[in-house]
Structure 1
Amino acid sequence: MVSRINQVTFDSRDGYTLCQWWKQVTGYTENPEFPNSPDDDENYIGPGGERGGLLFIDVPEGKSVKNRLHLDLSPTAGTRDEEVERLLALGATLHEDHRKENGAGWVTLRDPEGNEFCVERSDAELAG
Protein backbone atom coordinates (compact mmCIF):
# COMPACT_ATOMS: atom_id res chain seq x y z
CA MET A 1 0.00 0.00 0.00
CA VAL A 2 1.15 3.55 -0.76
CA SER A 3 -0.35 7.00 -0.35
CA ARG A 4 -0.97 9.55 -3.08
CA ILE A 5 -0.49 13.29 -2.68
CA ASN A 6 -3.87 14.99 -2.98
CA GLN A 7 -2.52 18.54 -2.85
CA VAL A 8 0.23 20.76 -1.52
CA THR A 9 -1.10 23.19 1.09
CA PHE A 10 0.05 26.77 1.63
CA ASP A 11 -0.75 28.66 4.83
CA SER A 12 -1.69 32.14 3.62
CA ARG A 13 -2.64 35.54 4.92
CA ASP A 14 -4.95 35.97 1.91
CA GLY A 15 -5.46 32.54 0.37
CA TYR A 16 -7.85 33.73 -2.32
CA THR A 17 -5.47 36.37 -3.69
CA LEU A 18 -2.49 34.01 -3.50
CA CYS A 19 -4.53 31.30 -5.22
CA GLN A 20 -5.34 33.71 -8.06
CA TRP A 21 -1.63 34.52 -8.42
CA TRP A 22 -0.63 30.85 -8.59
CA LYS A 23 -3.33 30.25 -11.23
CA GLN A 24 -1.37 32.59 -13.50
CA VAL A 25 1.89 30.80 -12.69
CA THR A 26 0.70 27.21 -13.19
CA GLY A 27 -2.31 27.44 -15.50
CA TYR A 28 -4.21 25.39 -12.89
CA THR A 29 -7.93 26.02 -12.54
CA GLU A 30 -10.50 25.75 -9.80
CA ASN A 31 -13.06 23.01 -9.69
CA PRO A 32 -16.21 24.57 -11.22
CA GLU A 33 -18.36 22.62 -8.75
CA PHE A 34 -16.50 24.31 -5.87
CA PRO A 35 -15.57 27.81 -7.07
CA ASN A 36 -13.10 29.86 -5.03
CA SER A 37 -14.20 33.00 -3.24
CA PRO A 38 -12.52 35.77 -1.21
CA ASP A 39 -14.91 34.81 1.60
CA ASP A 40 -13.60 31.23 1.76
CA ASP A 41 -10.95 30.12 4.27
CA GLU A 42 -9.75 27.53 1.73
CA ASN A 43 -9.15 28.02 -1.99
CA TYR A 44 -8.00 25.25 -4.35
CA ILE A 45 -6.58 25.02 -7.87
CA GLY A 46 -5.40 21.94 -9.72
CA PRO A 47 -4.70 20.57 -13.18
CA GLY A 48 -8.13 20.73 -14.77
CA GLY A 49 -9.50 21.55 -11.30
CA GLU A 50 -8.73 17.99 -10.22
CA ARG A 51 -6.52 16.48 -7.49
CA GLY A 52 -2.81 17.02 -7.33
CA GLY A 53 -2.98 20.79 -7.07
CA LEU A 54 -2.47 23.59 -4.59
CA LEU A 55 -4.63 24.44 -1.56
CA PHE A 56 -4.42 27.86 0.09
CA ILE A 57 -5.69 28.10 3.67
CA ASP A 58 -6.11 31.40 5.49
CA VAL A 59 -4.14 31.63 8.74
CA PRO A 60 -3.72 34.61 11.07
CA GLU A 61 0.08 34.67 11.18
CA GLY A 62 2.43 35.71 8.41
CA LYS A 63 5.39 33.75 7.07
CA SER A 64 8.42 34.14 9.34
CA VAL A 65 11.08 31.60 8.29
CA LYS A 66 12.34 29.81 5.19
CA ASN A 67 9.98 27.20 3.75
CA ARG A 68 10.81 23.63 4.72
CA LEU A 69 9.18 22.49 1.46
CA HIS A 70 9.07 24.31 -1.85
CA LEU A 71 7.97 23.81 -5.44
CA ASP A 72 10.43 23.37 -8.31
CA LEU A 73 8.93 24.64 -11.57
CA SER A 74 10.05 24.31 -15.16
CA PRO A 75 8.46 26.11 -18.10
CA THR A 76 6.41 24.06 -20.54
CA ALA A 77 7.40 26.43 -23.35
CA GLY A 78 10.29 28.82 -23.72
CA THR A 79 13.30 28.99 -21.46
CA ARG A 80 13.97 29.18 -17.75
CA ASP A 81 15.16 32.76 -18.14
CA GLU A 82 12.00 33.79 -20.03
CA GLU A 83 9.88 32.16 -17.34
CA VAL A 84 11.77 33.95 -14.57
CA GLU A 85 11.08 37.27 -16.33
CA ARG A 86 7.38 36.38 -16.71
CA LEU A 87 7.05 35.49 -13.02
CA LEU A 88 8.85 38.65 -11.92
CA ALA A 89 6.40 40.66 -14.04
CA LEU A 90 3.52 38.86 -12.27
CA GLY A 91 4.84 39.99 -8.90
CA ALA A 92 7.37 37.38 -7.81
CA THR A 93 10.58 38.66 -6.24
CA LEU A 94 14.11 37.40 -6.77
CA HIS A 95 15.54 35.59 -3.75
CA GLU A 96 18.66 33.79 -5.04
CA ASP A 97 20.13 33.33 -8.51
CA HIS A 98 21.98 30.01 -8.97
CA ARG A 99 22.35 30.14 -12.77
CA LYS A 100 25.74 29.13 -14.13
CA GLU A 101 27.56 30.33 -17.24
CA ASN A 102 27.12 26.90 -18.85
CA GLY A 103 23.30 27.23 -18.58
CA ALA A 104 22.87 24.92 -15.59
CA GLY A 105 21.34 26.02 -12.31
CA TRP A 106 18.09 27.52 -11.12
CA VAL A 107 16.56 30.71 -9.79
CA THR A 108 14.84 30.94 -6.42
CA LEU A 109 11.93 33.37 -6.36
CA ARG A 110 9.33 34.31 -3.75
CA ASP A 111 5.59 34.56 -4.36
CA PRO A 112 3.69 37.65 -3.15
CA GLU A 113 3.48 36.22 0.39
CA GLY A 114 7.17 35.33 0.52
CA ASN A 115 7.00 31.57 -0.17
CA GLU A 116 10.15 30.39 -1.93
CA PHE A 117 10.00 28.38 -5.15
CA CYS A 118 12.57 27.52 -7.81
CA VAL A 119 12.54 27.81 -11.59
CA GLU A 120 14.64 25.25 -13.42
CA ARG A 121 15.41 24.79 -17.12
CA SER A 122 12.71 23.54 -19.48
CA ASP A 123 12.77 20.02 -20.90
CA ALA A 124 13.85 21.48 -24.26
CA GLU A 125 16.79 23.26 -22.63
CA LEU A 126 17.83 20.08 -20.83
CA ALA A 127 17.63 18.04 -24.05
CA GLY A 128 19.53 20.65 -26.09
Structure 2
Amino acid sequence: MVALNWKLVIDTQDAPALADFWAAALGYEVEDPGPLIGRLLAAGHLTEDAVTEHGGRRVFRGFAAIRHPEDPYDEVSGIGHGRRLLFQDVPEPKTAKNRLHIDVHSDPGGLDVLVARLETLGATRVRELDKGPAGHWWVMRDPEGNEFCAA
Protein backbone atom coordinates (compact mmCIF):
# COMPACT_ATOMS: atom_id res chain seq x y z
CA MET A 1 0.00 0.00 0.00
CA VAL A 2 1.31 3.45 -0.94
CA ALA A 3 1.15 6.23 1.64
CA LEU A 4 -1.69 8.66 1.04
CA ASN A 5 -1.31 12.38 0.55
CA TRP A 6 -2.91 14.21 3.43
CA LYS A 7 -3.53 17.59 4.91
CA LEU A 8 -4.44 18.56 8.43
CA VAL A 9 -6.95 21.43 8.54
CA ILE A 10 -6.65 23.84 11.46
CA ASP A 11 -9.36 26.38 12.30
CA THR A 12 -7.95 29.85 12.94
CA GLN A 13 -8.70 33.50 13.49
CA ASP A 14 -5.76 34.68 11.29
CA ALA A 15 -4.80 31.94 8.83
CA PRO A 16 -1.77 33.64 7.19
CA ALA A 17 -0.18 34.56 10.53
CA LEU A 18 -0.64 31.07 11.97
CA ALA A 19 0.70 29.53 8.75
CA ASP A 20 3.82 31.69 9.12
CA PHE A 21 4.29 30.47 12.71
CA TRP A 22 3.92 26.78 11.85
CA ALA A 23 6.07 27.04 8.72
CA ALA A 24 8.89 28.48 10.84
CA ALA A 25 8.29 26.00 13.68
CA LEU A 26 8.35 22.94 11.41
CA GLY A 27 10.73 24.08 8.68
CA TYR A 28 7.89 23.90 6.13
CA GLU A 29 7.23 26.26 3.23
CA VAL A 30 4.27 28.63 3.03
CA GLU A 31 2.41 27.92 -0.19
CA ASP A 32 2.23 30.83 -2.63
CA PRO A 33 -1.19 30.96 -4.30
CA GLY A 34 -0.36 34.28 -6.02
CA PRO A 35 0.00 32.93 -9.57
CA LEU A 36 -3.23 30.94 -9.24
CA ILE A 37 -5.05 33.95 -7.82
CA GLY A 38 -3.84 36.06 -10.73
CA ARG A 39 -5.16 33.55 -13.26
CA LEU A 40 -8.51 33.18 -11.48
CA LEU A 41 -8.99 36.95 -11.25
CA ALA A 42 -8.06 37.45 -14.91
CA ALA A 43 -10.53 34.76 -16.00
CA GLY A 44 -13.32 36.23 -13.89
CA HIS A 45 -13.55 33.10 -11.69
CA LEU A 46 -12.63 35.03 -8.54
CA THR A 47 -13.48 38.48 -7.25
CA GLU A 48 -11.16 40.89 -5.43
CA ASP A 49 -13.12 40.50 -2.18
CA ALA A 50 -11.92 36.87 -1.98
CA VAL A 51 -8.30 38.03 -1.94
CA THR A 52 -6.10 39.89 0.51
CA GLU A 53 -2.39 40.58 0.88
CA HIS A 54 -0.03 39.06 3.42
CA GLY A 55 3.73 39.38 3.50
CA GLY A 56 3.74 41.20 0.17
CA ARG A 57 1.85 38.41 -1.60
CA ARG A 58 -1.73 37.93 -2.71
CA VAL A 59 -3.48 35.20 -0.72
CA PHE A 60 -6.99 33.81 -0.49
CA ARG A 61 -8.87 35.66 2.25
CA GLY A 62 -9.14 33.41 5.31
CA PHE A 63 -6.91 30.62 4.03
CA ALA A 64 -3.21 29.74 4.05
CA ALA A 65 -1.30 26.48 3.73
CA ILE A 66 2.17 25.14 4.38
CA ARG A 67 3.87 22.08 2.94
CA HIS A 68 6.89 19.92 3.62
CA PRO A 69 9.79 21.30 1.53
CA GLU A 70 10.72 17.89 0.10
CA ASP A 71 7.23 16.93 -1.03
CA PRO A 72 5.97 17.51 -4.59
CA TYR A 73 3.62 20.36 -5.37
CA ASP A 74 1.69 21.71 -8.31
CA GLU A 75 3.72 24.54 -9.83
CA VAL A 76 0.62 26.18 -11.29
CA SER A 77 -1.42 26.36 -8.08
CA GLY A 78 1.34 26.06 -5.47
CA ILE A 79 -0.67 23.35 -3.69
CA GLY A 80 1.38 20.62 -2.05
CA HIS A 81 0.80 16.95 -2.86
CA GLY A 82 2.23 15.55 0.36
CA ARG A 83 2.45 16.49 4.00
CA ARG A 84 0.46 19.69 4.31
CA LEU A 85 -1.29 21.91 6.87
CA LEU A 86 -4.20 24.09 5.77
CA PHE A 87 -5.28 26.99 7.99
CA GLN A 88 -8.82 28.32 7.57
CA ASP A 89 -10.46 31.19 9.38
CA VAL A 90 -13.67 30.42 11.24
CA PRO A 91 -16.04 32.91 12.90
CA GLU A 92 -16.09 31.32 16.34
CA PRO A 93 -13.17 31.58 18.79
CA LYS A 94 -11.36 28.58 20.25
CA THR A 95 -13.24 27.57 23.40
CA ALA A 96 -11.85 24.20 24.54
CA LYS A 97 -8.80 21.96 24.57
CA ASN A 98 -7.70 20.63 21.18
CA ARG A 99 -8.77 17.07 20.43
CA LEU A 100 -5.81 16.70 18.06
CA HIS A 101 -2.40 18.32 18.35
CA ILE A 102 1.03 18.43 16.76
CA ASP A 103 4.15 17.06 18.48
CA VAL A 104 7.39 18.82 17.51
CA HIS A 105 10.47 16.70 18.19
CA SER A 106 13.94 18.03 18.93
CA ASP A 107 17.27 16.49 18.13
CA PRO A 108 18.57 14.32 21.01
CA GLY A 109 19.41 16.61 23.92
CA GLY A 110 18.05 19.65 22.09
CA LEU A 111 14.70 20.21 23.82
CA ASP A 112 15.77 23.44 25.54
CA VAL A 113 16.99 24.90 22.24
CA LEU A 114 13.77 23.85 20.46
CA VAL A 115 11.52 25.34 23.15
CA ALA A 116 13.47 28.61 23.16
CA ARG A 117 13.23 28.82 19.34
CA LEU A 118 9.47 28.16 19.43
CA GLU A 119 9.06 30.89 22.04
CA THR A 120 10.86 33.39 19.81
CA LEU A 121 8.31 32.53 17.09
CA GLY A 122 5.40 33.31 19.43
CA ALA A 123 4.70 30.04 21.28
CA THR A 124 4.23 29.96 25.06
CA ARG A 125 5.04 27.26 27.59
CA VAL A 126 2.11 25.78 29.51
CA ARG A 127 3.64 23.01 31.59
CA GLU A 128 6.49 20.55 31.61
CA LEU A 129 5.67 16.84 31.69
CA ASP A 130 8.02 14.14 32.95
CA LYS A 131 7.23 10.69 31.61
CA GLY A 132 10.01 8.79 33.39
CA PRO A 133 12.07 6.65 30.98
CA ALA A 134 10.18 8.15 28.03
CA GLY A 135 11.73 11.54 28.89
CA HIS A 136 10.12 14.89 29.37
CA TRP A 137 8.48 17.41 27.12
CA TRP A 138 6.66 20.71 27.18
CA VAL A 139 3.01 21.35 26.51
CA MET A 140 2.98 24.65 24.62
CA ARG A 141 0.52 26.95 22.84
CA ASP A 142 0.87 28.50 19.41
CA PRO A 143 0.03 32.21 18.93
CA GLU A 144 -3.73 31.42 18.76
CA GLY A 145 -3.71 29.24 21.88
CA ASN A 146 -3.71 25.82 20.19
CA GLU A 147 -1.93 23.25 22.32
CA PHE A 148 1.04 21.28 21.00
CA CYS A 149 3.93 19.36 22.51
CA ALA A 150 7.66 19.93 22.21
CA ALA A 151 9.63 16.79 22.97
Is TM more than 0.5 here?
Answer: yes
Match of 2:124 in 1: 93
Bigger radius of gyration: 2
1:84-127 alpha-carbon deviations (Å, 9 max, x no partner): 1111122111112114687811111000000000011xxxxxxx
Mapped partners of 2:124, 2:94: distance in 1? 15
1:49-88 alpha-carbon deviations (Å, 9 max, x no partner): 6321211001111111000000111125860111011111
- How high is the TM-score relative to the length of structure 2? 0.68
Match of 2:146 in 1: 115
The 5 A counterparts of 1:1-128 are 4=4, 6-32=6-32, 34-35=33-34, 37-38=53-54, 39-48=60-69, 50=80, 51-76=82-107, 79-99=110-130, 104-120=135-151
Going from structure 1 to structure 2, the CA distance change for 1:119 and 1:15 (only over 3 Å counts) comes to same
Identify unmatched segments of 5+ residues in structure 2. 35-51, 55-59, 74-79
Q: CA RMSD in A?
A: 2.7
More strand by share: 2
Identify unmatched segments of 5+ residues in structure 1. 121-128
Mapped partners of 1:46, 1:76: distance in 2? 21
Mapped partners of 2:10, 2:139: distance in 1? 17
1:16 and 1:37 in contact (8 A); partners too = no
Mapped partners of 1:77, 1:10: distance in 2? 29
Shift of 1:17: 0.8
- How high is the TM-score relative to the length of structure 1? 0.78
Going from structure 1 to structure 2, the CA distance change for 1:9 and 1:83 (only over 3 Å counts) comes to same
Q: Secondary structure at the match of 1:24?
A: helix
Runs of 4+ in structure 1 off by over 3 angstroms are 35-39, 99-103
The percentage of aligned residue pairs carrying the same residue is: 36
Count, aligned residues: 119
